[in-house]
Structures are given as C-alpha cells and as structure tokens.
A and B are shown apart, each in its own frame.
Chain A
Amino acid sequence: MDRAEVNEKIRSLIEPFNKKGVAIADGTTFAGDLEFDSLTVMDFVAAIEDEFDIIISMNQQAEIETFGQLVDAVTKMVS
C-alpha cells in the first residue's frame, strides 16, 4: 500500500473523532489541533490498528504528533 492510499484510509478513519470538523493537513496535531484526549487516542489508534492489522505501541505513539507523521509511520509498517 502506498502513502496516498494510507493517507486516504486514515482520513476516513479520523472522521468520527474529528468532532469539530478541523481541516486535516500533514501538519495537523492530534493533541493541539484535534484536541484528542487519552481515551480518544486509544479508540482512534485501535481503529487504525484494526484497519491495517498492525500494532502501534505507546512507545511509537509518543513519536507521532501530527497527521503526516502518523501516515508515514503506518505506511512504513504496511509496506
């Protein structure tokens, strides 16, 4: 799967968690722009893990702050 496909999929997965309809770009931050709390993060990560059949450990999550970094990380895991 290439980056564009991963980007597309994660964009659709994020929708139910993007309560305020924030415009998503590579630089969009989860904690700041999207105001994700720890529970939302868990549900959102679980949705991605299930979609791509991967594990994103909390250690890996700590390195991911923006939407673009998430897409990069998942792309790396699935390719």
Chain B
Amino acid sequence: MTEGVNQPDQPETVSGHTPDLFAKFDPLIAMREGLLASGVEDPFDLVMEKVLSPTRAVCNGRETILLGTYNYMGMTFDPEVIEAGKQALADFGAGTTGSRVLNGTYQGHKEVEKALCEFYAMDHAMVFSTGYQANLGIISTIAGKGDYIVLDIDSHASIWDGCKLGDAEIVPFKHNDIEAMEKRLRRIPDGAGKLVILEGVYSMLGDIAPLKEMVAVAKKHGAMVLVDEAHSMGFIGHHGRGVAEDQDCLADVDFVIGTFSKSVGTVGGFCVSNHPKFEILRLVCRPYVFTASLPPSVVATAATSIRKLMHGSNKRAHLWENSKTLHAGLKALGFQLGTEEPQSAIVAVIMPDLERGAAMWEALIEGGLYVNLARPPATPANMTLLRCSLCAEHTGEEVQTILGIFEAAGKAVGII
C-alpha cells in the first residue's frame, strides 16, 4: 500500500509567485506565430497523406517529389523488404512487448545483428530501437566519470544528448579542425580515458570529415574513436560501410554508430565494434535495457535491406550521379551551397535568412517539391538551410524537374 492512501487531502496553498513552466518557450512561440502570420504553410506541420514510392508522395493534397527523406537507397518499397516484413508480422506478431535483455530478443533481432556483423565485417553488433538511442546509450555508458569526450562542435543532437546523459568531461572542438582536436587531446591529464566522437557525413551541410587524419591523431593520443556513419551507410565506401571505409581507416575506428532510418529504410539504430568486451554493454547500457525492442517486422525488413545493400553498387553509382547533377545544377542557377563540391547525398542550399528560407520552402512545396527546412539552433553558424537529400530511385529526369522547380521558386522569392 502506498503511503498516501490513508492521508486526507492536503489543503491547497500556493506560496509566492510561481512562474509558468512554459514561459521559456515564449520567444519560439512568437517566432512561429510571426512566420505563420506572413501566410506561409507551416514547414513543421506537413502531412504525407499518401506515399506513392520512395521519391513521391501526396503532401497537403499535392503530388510531391520527395527530396528530403534520407531514404538514400530507396529501400522503403523494395518488394523483398516488404515481403520479409509481412512474413515476420504474420509469424511473430506486431511487437515484442519487452526489453532486449528480457523477453524482447527474437530470432529476427539476432539475424539483423548478424547481418550487420557481415555488412561491416566486424565481430559485434548491438541493435537499439533508434539511432538516437544508440548514440545516447553507447556514449553515456562507455565514457564515465573522469573520462574525457572530445567531439566536433557540429555533432548531431543525439551525440550531445549522449554526452549530457553521462558523467564524462565534455570538450568540443571547431568543426573538422584537426589541429584544434589535437590540442585538446594533448591537454587531457595523464591517465584519463579518452573518447573521440566524429561523424562521417555531417548532415546539416552534407560535408564529410577528414577521418583518416583525425582518427590517426586520436589513436596517437591513445583515444578510442566512435564514428557516427548515419548518413553514409550503404552509399559511401567500397562496401557501403561509410566514410571511414572510403578513407581506409575503418580498422582504427573502435565503434561505428548507424541507423536503420536512412539507407536501410525502416527504423532502428546500432553500434558495431571489434572490442573484445563489447557484449557486456548489453547489460549496462540503460537506453538498451530500459526500453522495448524493435517489432519483429522491423528487424526483418532491416535484415533483408542490409543484405541487399551489400550488393548495391549500381544504385550507389546512380545516387552519386544524382548528387553531382543536382549540386552542379543548383550552383549554376546561382544558389549558395553548403559545400564547394558534392561530398555526399546531401546538398544543402544556404538561405539568406529564416523569412526568405521559409518563403522559399513554401514556393518549393507549392511547386511540388519537398525539402527539409533547417533553422537555428540546429544549424551550424545559425544558418537557415534547405537540405536536399537524394535517393538512388530519383531518375535523371526527376533531377532536372527538381532543378526547374528550384529555379522558378528562387526567382519568385528573389534569392537568385
């Protein structure tokens, strides 16, 4: 019995002035209202009423080309992937109703972990319910009190939240700045554990990291290295293992974090590693233990998709082609882009300010094109960005159509 049961109701006494906990959101509420008052469609309240393919959907009543989904390899509608999901749904049910360490590990969870080990040619794989949780769990668990985490200032929110959840000392350095990273590593007191956290592709600007140099510097200083390859899996590197593979330094990376929510085309996250004691993490990593595991249909679709991605070199070549065409076309139209050259399947178009960014976003959606609107504080240097992510299923013709929509919208809004 709880203590409260036999107690009479307490009299309500509110002493002093109590602020509304929501007062801190007032500036954001005002900004949103200002933006919507100018008549733009709400960029953060888009509804996909129908999804026609990896590259087409009906959004707010309009047929729309999707150019902001991170569905890089177009696996969401792959017939074999869908079939595997249906079968698992029928055979194993809608959900596991349990943690991975209790009743939530099914055959399918083991199989997707095996597929990941084969995909990365690594000894261990641990599947989480999302990529966000994979970063949260691995980072907060392996770096503890007295250890140091040295990380790029433009790291993804899930990496920052992993740092916040743990007890390590957090030391950021300027984006992709090898010297700044080295200085910080050099100053860490003797005897402290060190974890360097990098990303293969940085999703805001679509730029890649000089991993080969950075990983070498980290190793020289005795640090362990974690690389988030969320935006490169299946696409960059000879086997699609990511930027570290492409730059020939994957063997020196201790932990690769990835997600099923981009190239794999479903939902889920993972960490792969060769560390001999890796398996102990299953018992001590709270975001792994204290949440339900992925549904059987999800792990079945993921395993099938990952195995297909091992043989995706033709699709990869076409995706690169698309990225290059879009990048060159937008540049020729006079847009300012996040990178000089295309470095990934993300092309970021830099907007002069939030107002014109929102106006441009709206002109694009009215023209039948969906892109991601990214705004401060999620963006580096407080930029407003229209982020385009290409899909291997975009046809060459579609990319030309996309350029046409950009040209019309850019002229209408007065950006080009």
Q: Which residues of A contact B (CB under 8 A)?
A: 37-39, 42-43, 46, 49-50, 53-55, 57-60
Are A42 and B187 closer than 8 Å at their CB atoms? no
Could you tell me if B174 and A42 are in contact, using CB atoms closer than 8 angstroms?
Answer: yes
Known contacts A58-B170, A59-B169, A59-B170; decide if A53 and B382 are in contact (CB<8 Å).
no
Known: A49-B183, A50-B183, A55-B184. A42 touches B172 (CB 8 A): yes
In the A-B complex, list the 6 residue pairs whose CB atoms are closest, starting with the nearest: A57-B169, A58-B170, A55-B187, A57-B171, A59-B169, A57-B170
A-B residue pairs in contact (CB < 8 Å), sample of 5: A39-B382, A43-B174, A46-B174, A49-B187, A58-B170
Nearest neighbor of B164 in chain A, beta-carbon distance: A58
B39 within 8 A of A: no
Contact residues on B (Cβ < 8 Å of other chain), bracket: 10 to 19
Q: Is residue B21 contacting chain A, with contact meaning CB distance below 8 A?
A: no
Taking the closest CB of chain A, its distance from the CB of B278, in whole angstroms, is: 27
Distance between Cα atoms of A53 and B183 in the complex (Å): 9
- For residue B151, which residue of chain A has the nearest CB? A58
Q: CA of A53 to CA of B163 in the docked complex: distance in angstroms?
A: 24
Interface of A is mostly: helix
Q: A42-B153, A49-B183, A49-B187 are in contact. Are A55 and B174 (CB under 8 A)?
A: no
Mostly, the B contact residues are: mixed
A7 to B382 CA separation, bound complex (whole angstroms): 31
Q: Are B381 and A55 in contact (CB under 8 A)?
A: no
Do the beta carbons of B171 and A58 come within 8 Å of each other? yes
A57 to B172, CA, bound (A): 8
CB distance from B196 to the nearest CB of A (A): 14
Find out whether the CB atom of B148 lies under 8 angstroms from the CB atom of A53.
Answer: no
Judged by a CB distance under 8 angstroms, whether B330 is at the interface is no
Q: Say whether B377 contacts A38, CB under 8 Å.
A: yes
Q: Other CB < 8 Å A-B pairs besides A39-B381, A42-B172, A59-B169, 6 of them? A: A38-B377, A43-B174, A50-B183, A57-B148, A58-B169, A58-B170
**B117 at the binding interface (Cβ < 8 Å):** no
Give A22 Cβ to nearest chain B Cβ, in Å: 21
Within 8 Å CB of A43, what residues of B? 174
Chain A positions within 8 Å of B173 at CB level: 46
Per the bound structure, the CA–CA distance linking A70 and B180 in Å amounts to: 21
Cα–Cα, bound, A43→B170 (Å)? 16
CA–CA, A43 to B171, complex, Å? 13
Assembled-state Cα–Cα distance A62/B295 (Å) = 40
Q: Is B188 an interface residue (CB 8 A)?
A: yes
* A54 and B187 in contact, given A42-B153, A46-B180 (Cβ under 8 angstroms): yes
Residues B382 and A55 in contact, CB atoms below 8 Å apart: no
A53's partner among B153, B171, B187 (CB-CB below 8 A) is: B187
CB distance from A57 to the nearest CB of B (A): 4
Binary interface encoding of chain B residues 140-171 relative to chain A, with 1 for a CB under 8 A from any of its CBs, else 0: 00000000100001000000000100000111
B188–A55 contact, CB under 8 A? yes
Chain B residues within an 8 Å CB radius of A60: 169
How near does chain A come to B185, taking the closest CB pair, in angstroms?
10
Cα–Cα, bound, A42→B153 (Å): 8
Name the A residues within 8 Å of B184 (CB-CB). Answer: 49, 55
Residues of B within 8 A of A59 (CB): 169-170
Determine the residue in chain A with the shortest Cβ distance to B167.
A59
How far is B173's CA from A55's CA once the two chains are assembled, in angstroms?
A: 11
Q: Which residues of B contact A46 (CB under 8 A)?
A: 173-174, 180
- Minimum Cβ distance to chain B for residue A16 (Å): 16
What residues of B have a CB within 8 angstroms of the CB of A58 in the complex?
163, 169-172
Chain A: minimal CB distance from B413 (Å): 27
Complex Cα distance, B150 from A58, in Å, reads 11
Question: Which of A37, A49, A50, A53 has the most CB atoms of chain B within a 10 A radius of its CB?
Answer: A49
Note all chain B residues with C-beta closer than 8 A to A42: 153, 172, 174
Question: What are the residues of chain A within 8 A of B171 when measuring CB–CB?
Answer: 55, 57-58
